[in-house]
Amino acid sequence: MKKTKNSYKKSGVDIKTADKFTKFIQKNSKRAFKKKLSYLNKNNIGGFASVFDIKTQKINDPLILSSTDGVGTKVEIANNFNKFDTIGIDLVAMCVNDLIVLGAKPIFFLDYIATGKIKLDKMKKIINGIIKGCKISDCILAGGETAEMPGTYEKNKFDLAGFAVGLVSRKKLLTKNKVKNRDIILAIPSNGLHSNGFSLLRKVLKKTDINNSLKKELLLPTKIYANEVLELVKRNLINSSANITGGGIVDNIKRSIPEKLTINIDLSKIKIKKIFKWLKSKKISDAEMLKTFNCGVGFCLIAPKKNVNKIKNFFEKKFRPYEIGFVSKSSKRLNLKNKLEW
């Protein structure tokens, strides 16, 4: 038999390596989610689609919610530092934190990894991070896709996308219409930069000497707020919430409060983390900082004042919510008081 001049492998796609990676994912997923595999059709694992039994969740009048996201150019930071064990947590967090804004419990997650060349050690670290993020979120990694795309991505380049599905009882659904006059706006601290603003950050880094401390700070994974927020939803302690991602604190809170009400925020009350003070020193304006970065606030809660003390008890000290504003009635949509204190 003549040797073929052209083959898929010669074009840059190695199916055997991809199969090894798939088997690694299946093995580790089964081990990580052993107690929850009854929710899935076990006979369909490795099939063309995932099957999930909603009845096992025992939610009355359930609504299905979905969210999809990526981690942006934070993947470039991971590549530059050759550190891939936390970027998967970021991916899960970016999707799951959007679901819980509406009070939904995440039930399963799907990932998509695209790369120029599958490097098993690197891919395994990414997947282990995704599995860890799912375990923190109390959901299952139900499936995914890995695409080897030579020519589209350089050999060391990759991108991530995630898709999460959640359930919530209709009566527990959080919407901005539940927000009332005089509700309090609470800020939950972030874990650092999370996964937003990295294009601007990378521009800053071009003119910066990077030490090990800064490397560690830049790749701290996005905090997943699912467990704490869902406990508050369960006890009817909050009326609305906001995930502080692209657009910053102000723009995201606007999405969670009715237009007929005024958002009052005291910027001086925001507890700014050290990494943002460092970024501010790189000649970035206050307005740009607020719009691009979370500045130390990863998630916000809107709740009746009588519930504030109860709410704080559901969080460990590092992530304990604190008041940054309130909701009122006036002709203005937004009232920003004072300035960020750097």
- Span 45-61, mean pLDDT? 83
Number of domains in the chain: 2
Q: Domain check: are 146 and 258 in the same one? A: no
Residue 27 has what pLDDT?
85
Residue 76 lies in a domain: yes
Listed range (123-127, 208-212, 290-294, 308-312) with the worst mean pLDDT: 208-212
Say yes or no to pLDDT of 49 above 90: no
Say yes or no to pLDDT of 129 above 70: yes
d(CA 20, CA 27): 11
The last residue of one of the domains, among 157, 172, 187, is 172
- Span 44-65, mean pLDDT? 84
Which tens digit of pLDDT belongs to each residue from 19-36? Answer: 888 888 888 887 878 777
Listed range (1-10, 90-99, 132-141, 165-174) with the worst mean pLDDT: 1-10
Say yes or no to pLDDT of 5 above 80: no
Residue 64 lies in a domain: yes
Residue 48 lies in a domain: yes
Q: Domain check: are 112 and 241 in the same one? A: no
Q: Domain check: are 180 and 329 in the same one? A: yes
Q: Could you tell me the pLDDT band of residue 14, with boundaries at 50, 70 and 90?
A: low
Strand (E) positions, 72-154?
A: 105-115, 140-148
Interacting residues of 86 by C-beta distance below 8 A, sequence separation 6+: 129, 219, 220, 221
How would you label 87-111 residue by residue, b for 16+ Cβ within 10 Å and e otherwise?
bbbbbbbbbbbbbbbbbbbbbbbbb
Its pTM stands at 0.93
CA 163, 78, 11: angle at the middle one, nearest 5? 75
In this structure, what token pair is assigned to residue 341?
Answer: 């204190």
The last residue of one of the domains, among 138, 172, 206, is 172
Q: Domain check: are 142 and 239 in the same one? A: no
Collapsed DSSP state (helix, strand, coil) of residue 3? coil
Q: Domain check: are 186 and 83 in the same one? A: no
- Span 152-174, mean pLDDT? 95
pLDDT over 70, % of the chain: 93
Q: Are residues 191 and 183 in contact, defined by beta-carbon separation less than 8 angstroms?
A: no
The range of the structural domain enclosing residue 254 comes to 176-337
How many residues in the chain? 342
CATH number of the domain that residue 152 is part of:
3.30.1330.10
Which tens digit of pLDDT belongs to each residue from 200-254? Answer: 999 999 988 899 999 999 999 999 999 999 999 999 999 999 999 999 999 999 9
Q: Domain check: are 74 and 195 in the same one? A: no
Q: Domain check: are 118 and 203 in the same one? A: no
d(CA 82, CA 102): 36
Residue 13 has what pLDDT?
63
Residue 188 lies in a domain: yes
Q: Domain check: are 315 and 195 in the same one? A: yes
- The one-letter code for the residue type at 303 is A
Q: Domain check: are 298 and 152 in the same one? A: no
Q: Domain check: are 134 and 279 in the same one? A: no
Q: Domain check: are 114 and 190 in the same one? A: no
The last residue of one of the domains, among 143, 172, 201, is 172
- For residue 133, with 0-12 CB atoms within 10 Å meaning exposed, 13-18 middle and 19 or more buried, which class applies? buried
Residue 106 lies in a domain: yes
Residue 7 lies in a domain: no
Residue 2 lies in a domain: no
Q: Are residues 101 and 95 in contact, defined by beta-carbon separation less than 8 angstroms?
A: no
Pairing of strands 105-115, 334-337: unpaired
Q: Domain check: are 20 and 149 in the same one? A: yes
Residue 262 lies in a domain: yes
Nearest to 302 by CA among 185, 173, 178: 185
